[in-house]
Structure formats: C-alpha cells, structure tokens
Amino acid sequence: MSTFQAPKGTYDLLPPNSATYLAVREAISGPLKNSGYGYIETPGFENVELFARGVGESTDIVTKEMYAFETKGGDRLALRPEGTASVLRAALEANLHKGGNLPVKLWYSGSYYRYERPQKGRYRHFSQVGAEAIGTEDPALDAELIILADQAYRSLGLRNFRILLNSLGDKECRPVYRAALQDFLRGLDLDDDTRRRVDINPLRVLDDKRESVQRQLTGAPMLRDYLCEACKAYHEQVRELLTAAGVAFEDDEKLVRGLDYYTRTTFEFVHDGLGSQSAVGGGGRYDGLSEMIGGPALPSVGWALGVDRTVLALEAEGIALDIPAATAVYAVPLGEEARRVLFGTVTALRRAGVATDFAYGGKGLKNAMKSANRSGARLALVAGERDLAEGLVQLKDLESGEQTPVALDAVVDEVTRRLG
C-alpha cells in the first residue's frame, strides 16, 4: 500500500469487475443510440451559478452537496452534481435547438460529484448514463425515455425493479397546489429546517423519509386533485403509451424527486434489493429549466441512470454478465530469439483483430502458462529455439490441452480459423 488512499466516499474500478461497469454503460446507452440520441460530452465542472439556478437554490444538492470552488483566476466553479443543466447549457450555447430539428436528442455518460454522507450505493463520486430530449412537448417522448430505460435494465437481465410515475403539474396548476400544501404543512409540528423547506420547496417535505413527518402527512392535499385539465390529459397519454408498450408502472403521488426543475411527468426506477439507496435511476420533464438558465422556452424531458447502483442491482439479483474473456490468445516465448519472433506474431495477430497478450519479462514456462490460463485465453502459442529453427510454433488449446505444431507464417490464419 502507498501513503495514499482513494478519497472518502470514492472507490476505484479495477479489473476484472470494471468490465461489468463498462458493460452496464453499454447496455444503457445501446437503446438510446438505437433511438436517435446523439452523444454529448460536457466539462466536468461548470459555472456554479448554472447549478444554483438550474438544479435549484433550495435543493440539498446545491446547498449541501456541491463541490464548489474558486479558481486562481477568480471564477466560481463547481464539479457537476448532475447532467441535465450542463447538457441544456451546451445545447443552448451551440444553438442546437435552432436547427429546426426538434427535439434535440442527446445522451451522455460520465462522472458526477456530490458531497454526501457515504454509504452503500451512495458515493461522492459516481457514474451516470443519461438522456435528454430537448425542445418538444409530446407525451410519446416521455414514454419513449421510460421505455428505453426499461429496455436497458431488462437487457441486463434485471427483473426486480419497479417504475414509479407521477405528474408534478405545470406552471398553471402547480402554484395553486403549492399554496394549498403550504397551508396544510404550516399547521404541523415540524422542526426549523423542515419549516424553512415548507417556505422554499414544500413538495419536498412529502419526500421526507422520517416517520415523525410521514405520520403527520395523512390528509395532506394531493397534487392529483389539483392537476389542470391539460396536465391530466398529458399524463393520461403517457400512462396509456407505457401500458400499450407493455411497460408496467406504479402511480406514486408522493414522488417529487430532489431537483427543482421538474414539471409534469416524473419517474423513478427503484430496485427492491438495494436497501435504503433503492433508486437506480430517475428523471422527468423539465419544461421551465431552459428559461431558468436564460434560454428560450424549451419543453424537455430526460433521465439519468446510476451505473454504480445498477451494478449493485445486478449483484442483488445474482446476475453475472456474460463478458467475453479479454484475451483470446496468449503467447509464450522460450528464450531470446523466440521472444523477438513471437512478439512479431503477436503484433500480426492483433492487427488481424485477435485479442492477444504476451508473456513479458522473461517468465519461465510454468509461470507463463499460469498467466496464460489466468488471462482466460483459449489458445496459447508456445515457441522455443528448436521450434523456431524448424519455422514452427506450438499452438496449444488451453481447454483440451491438445498441442499442434503450426508453421510460423500460417499462425494468423490457423488462429483465426480456430477462434471462428
């Protein structure tokens, strides 16, 4: 061990487990790439104001969890705690919404940072794959995103997850509900922090996990009863499209999510094997966000799925992804001359697209064969001075143990033939 350890709340992805993370990212992005979403990458940090305005001044993410700092040049920046605000900022900056081709559909994959209290499934550095569809109000777009996330999780073999669905209303009906809820909450016995939350973001009080709060919420006005006709009709269409697609969901009137920018459709994917950090992904419609960050009105919808928690969900369901061995052929030279010649063969195999590795460092035969087995390779190429003098190498099948001499200049052909 060195003097240093990974910072608190972080962990390293190491082989062989790291292959699962890559596979999860691919499984999530696959359905998006297949549905018209283009890849976007934005910086790991942004002007802190973008998140303050975009994510919301009253959210835990902004008030407590942001890694904010001032640069030597005096800029106030923050490591990104989520993806949506950055993606929308980038799309607006590049005028993607002016191409006359709405919605702008984008997907991303990257690292996010929140100064949270670490526990299983909750880290200070975590990884998300996300999608945003910008500039169009259409219930089919909301449904599309939910269906694609469902498809992604299912393609990984996950089954024990549920989709929670709600509508948060829009700028017509939400304020009326908000006021009614505030009236109700102000009559309860709440601590000072929660009272402040009642003033700033009363919907989030519904989300409070504490039993002492939950107990008092019986009889609270429900948003469902305040939704305007347009929001009701919109939500009904989303529900119908999901049902028609065979995607099961649960209506959850208490689902408000931790970010301020959501309107209308909100949803969360929860996994039942994860304990308290059960949300594996979530998202929703954010029709007002563009204007909040100084852009034009651009109704949009998106989601972010957590890679770390998806991996935990796989573990919880006992699913081992079928990840092909990284190495197909392992080459073992015996002696200096063999090292030179066989290294050339390794290069030729790689150029022919065969995943090949080499016993570096002058290992003895026994040690090298151990490495060959550990690599997961199906074939080993072994060459000593005598073989080479005859222009041969030994091709060993590591499953059957069977060994056949092959002419050096026929190795690439023979190996590709055997690997099919």
Please give the DSSP secondary-structure letter assigned to residue 122: B
Give the shortest CB-4-to-ligand AMP separation in angstroms.
Answer: 22
Of residues 115 and 184, the one with the C-beta less far from ligand AMP: 115
Name the token pair of 359: 């016993």
* Site for ligand AMP, residues 261 to 280, rule: CB under 6 A: 279-280
Taking CB under 6 A as the criterion, the residue among 10, 23, 68, 122 binding ligand AMP is 122
Q: Is 132 in the site for ligand AMP (CB under 6 A)?
A: no
Number of residues that bind ligand AMP (CB under 6 A): 17
Q: Mask: binding to ligand AMP, 381-410, rule CB under 6 A, as x and -?
A: ------------------------------
Q: Is 258 in the site for ligand AMP (CB under 6 A)?
A: yes
Q: Interacting stretch for ligand AMP, rule CB under 6 A, among 121-129, 132-140, 390-398, 400-408? A: 121-129
Please report, as a single letter, which amino acid is at residue 323.
Answer: I
Of residues 279 and 354, the one with the C-beta less far from ligand AMP: 279
Of residues 133 and 328, the one with the C-beta less far from ligand AMP: 133
Chain-centre distance for alpha carbon 338: 45
Of residues 88 and 342, the one with the C-beta less far from ligand AMP: 88
User: Rounded to an integer, what distance in angstroms lies between the CA atom of residue 411 and that of residue 404?
Assistant: 11
Q: Smallest Cα–Cα separation from 279: which of 308, 320, 301? A: 308
Q: Mask: binding to ligand AMP, 296-315, rule CB under 6 A, as x and -?
A: --------x-x-xx------
Of residues 24 and 380, the one with the C-beta less far from ligand AMP: 24
Phi then psi dihedrals of residue 214, to 5 deg: -55, -40
Taking CB under 6 A as the criterion, the residue among 21, 26, 58, 116 binding ligand AMP is 116
- Per DSSP (E only), the strands in 214-298 are 250-251, 263-271, 279-285
Give the shortest CB-198-to-ligand AMP separation in angstroms.
Answer: 22
Q: Is 109 in the site for ligand AMP (CB under 6 A)?
A: no
Q: Is 281 in the site for ligand AMP (CB under 6 A)?
A: yes
| Residue nearest ligand AMP, Cβ-based | 306
Give the shortest CB-309-to-ligand AMP separation in angstroms.
Answer: 4
User: Rounded to an integer, what distance in angstroms lies between the CA atom of residue 50 and that of residue 85?
Assistant: 7
User: Rounded to an integer, what distance in angstroms lies between the CA atom of residue 381 and that of residue 187?
Assistant: 78
Taking CB under 6 A as the criterion, the residue among 37, 45, 126, 161 binding ligand AMP is 126
Name the token pair of 192: 């000072």
* Site for ligand AMP, residues 71 to 90, rule: CB under 6 A: 82
User: Rounded to an integer, what distance in angstroms lies between the CA atom of residue 167 and that of residue 178?
Assistant: 14
Q: Is 174 in the site for ligand AMP (CB under 6 A)?
A: no
Q: Is 282 in the site for ligand AMP (CB under 6 A)?
A: yes
Give the shortest CB-14-to-ligand AMP separation in angstroms.
Answer: 18
User: Rounded to an integer, what distance in angstroms lies between the CA atom of residue 137 and that of residue 146?
Assistant: 15
Of residues 96 and 256, the one with the C-beta less far from ligand AMP: 256
Of residues 114 and 235, the one with the C-beta less far from ligand AMP: 114
Please give the DSSP secondary-structure letter assigned to residue 325: P
Q: Are 388 and 338 in contact (CB under 8 A)?
A: yes
Residues 6 or more apart whose Cβ sits within 8 Å of residue 92: 290, 293, 295, 298
Q: Are 398 and 385 in contact (CB under 8 A)?
A: no
Of residues 109 and 371, the one with the C-beta less far from ligand AMP: 109
Q: Are 403 and 380 in contact (CB under 8 A)?
A: no
Classify the phi-psi angles of 121: left when phi > 0, otherwise alpha if psi is within -120 to 50, otherwise beta: left
Q: Is 153 in the site for ligand AMP (CB under 6 A)?
A: no
Q: Smallest Cα–Cα separation from 330: which of 396, 408, 406, 403? A: 396
Residue 2's Cβ-count burial label (10 Å; 0-12, 13-18, 19+) is: exposed
Give the shortest CB-132-to-ligand AMP separation in angstroms.
Answer: 12
Of residues 144 and 260, the one with the C-beta less far from ligand AMP: 260
Classify the phi-psi angles of 311: left when phi > 0, otherwise alpha if psi is within -120 to 50, otherwise beta: alpha
Give the shortest CB-147-to-ligand AMP separation in angstroms.
Answer: 18
Give the shortest CB-184-to-ligand AMP separation in angstroms.
Answer: 26
What is the per-residue burial (b if ≥16 Cβ within 10 Å, else e) of 169-197? Answer: bbeebbeebbebbeebbeeeebeeebeeb
User: Rounded to an integer, what distance in angstroms lies between the CA atom of residue 126 and that of residue 24?
Assistant: 14
Residue ranges binding ligand AMP (CB under 6 A): 82, 114, 116, 121-123, 126, 128, 258, 279-282, 304, 306, 308-309
